[in-house]
Amino acid sequence: MTLTDEPTLGALEERARQRTGAFGEHALIVCDSLVRIYQSEGVEVQALQGLDLLVEEGELVAIVGASGSGKSTLLSVLSGLDVPTAGRVRVGPWDLMSMTGAQRVAYRRSMVGFVWQQTARNVVPYLSGTENVAFPLALAGVRRKERDRRAAELLDVLGVGYCADRRPSQMSGGEQQRVAIAVALANSPQVLFADEPTGELDSATSHDVLEGLRTVNRELGTTVVVVTHDPGVSEHVQRTVAIRDGRTSSEVIRRTQTREDGSEHVVAEELAVLDRSGRVQLPREYRDALQLVGRVRLALEESHVSLWPDRPAPTAEPARRFGRHSAPSEETGR
């Protein structure tokens, strides 16, 4: 390459700007390097540490992670209740960083629906199933006949049509949560957020609620993001995103594959997430097994990248070694 082929600084800057603009351009939900810092009694807690997440329209995504990993913080941001400290967050046409108070109310009424862990927060105790679903429609000015039609339709989709005339106290926890999903969908939001919707339920009832979310996604086309501790969730969704230390760390993708004899089977594959800065979180068991602490060696091979402890390197000479640029063990970012 001659000197004249070198891109100018201006050209490099322009390229970087274009790349930023393109991130998640076609996604319905875009979280770009989200940071949320809480100040509590003079102590700083970084709940989100540069989190990247894209959700396409029509997806059903579960977000899992240990307690304190940042799941609820992320959901508060996406539901318009909280504003991140830095980064970019967009849901459909709504830029959640710069919305006014009035826009925030409109966003929460028209674009998104919510199901919370506590059933009492989702349904009104003295209203029947039908009345609960019809309530947000009445607030939106929908006429009685249409309200009842829509309530009956949604309760049927969720498999709880028989709860139409029952009050929440006459329903099981799982039935209440499925009615709650119907309530959240009354105003036809594009996205449904569910925060630990099975947190107070046993495993059999949890199954019904997660299947309810799946039915809504498949039959109504609603994009669903569910935050959960429930280990059984990945069986019900196509994509499970794990959050660790305020960042997306790995994803399990489930695909249906067809065998040679034409029969179908589901294959689940776990992938590490490489974020926009080139960071990958190494699972603790990998770090422990090879005692990866502090610095590691990286090498670019023909088809993959090798990583090993900052001790004498393996005998085979890799194609291109980065040992001189040792990276921190938590993140292989460069």
Ligand X SMILES: Nc1ncnc2c1ncn2[C@@H]1O[C@H](COP(=O)(O)OP(=O)(O)OP(=O)(O)O)[C@@H](O)[C@H]1O
Interface residues with ligand X (CB under 6 A) are 38, 40, 45, 47, 65, 67-73
CA dihedral 122, 124, 127, 128 (to 10 degrees): 20
Question: What is the smallest separation between the CB atom of 62 and ligand X, expressed in angstroms?
Answer: 13
Angle (nearest 5°) at CA 56 between 223 and 85? 95
Question: What is the smallest separation between the CB atom of 96 and ligand X, expressed in angstroms?
Answer: 16
SS3 26: coil
Position 17, amino acid: R
- Token pair, residue 229, equals 């501790």
Contact status, residue 195 vs residue 180, Cβ threshold 8 Å: no
Contact status, residue 164 vs residue 191, Cβ threshold 8 Å: no
Question: What is the smallest separation between the CB atom of 193 and ligand X, expressed in angstroms?
Answer: 13
Cα–Cα distance measured from residue 19 to residue 294, given in angstroms and rounded to the nearest whole number: 31
CB nearer to ligand X: pick between 77 and 186: 77
Contact status, residue 68 vs residue 229, Cβ threshold 8 Å: no
Question: What is the smallest separation between the CB atom of 55 and ligand X, expressed in angstroms?
Answer: 18
Residue 179, φ and ψ in degrees, nearest 5: -65, -40
Question: What is the smallest separation between the CB atom of 297 and ligand X, expressed in angstroms?
Answer: 32
CB nearer to ligand X: pick between 38 and 162: 38
CB nearer to ligand X: pick between 81 and 293: 81
Question: What is the smallest separation between the CB atom of 67 and ligand X, expressed in angstroms?
Answer: 3
Candidates 71, 79, 119; CA nearest to 228 is 71
Q: Which helix (H) or strand (E) holds 246?
A: none
Position 206, amino acid: S
CB nearer to ligand X: pick between 70 and 212: 70
CB nearer to ligand X: pick between 29 and 160: 29
Contact status, residue 224 vs residue 174, Cβ threshold 8 Å: no
How many CB atoms are located within 10 Å of the residue 242 CB?
Answer: 23
SS3 180: helix
CB nearer to ligand X: pick between 46 and 172: 46
Question: What is the smallest separation between the CB atom of 74 and ligand X, expressed in angstroms?
Answer: 7
CB nearer to ligand X: pick between 159 and 199: 199
Cα–Cα distance measured from residue 327 to residue 334, given in angstroms and rounded to the nearest whole number: 7
Question: What is the smallest separation between the CB atom of 42 and ligand X, expressed in angstroms?
Answer: 12
Terminal Cα distance for the chain, rounded: 24
CB nearer to ligand X: pick between 64 and 163: 64
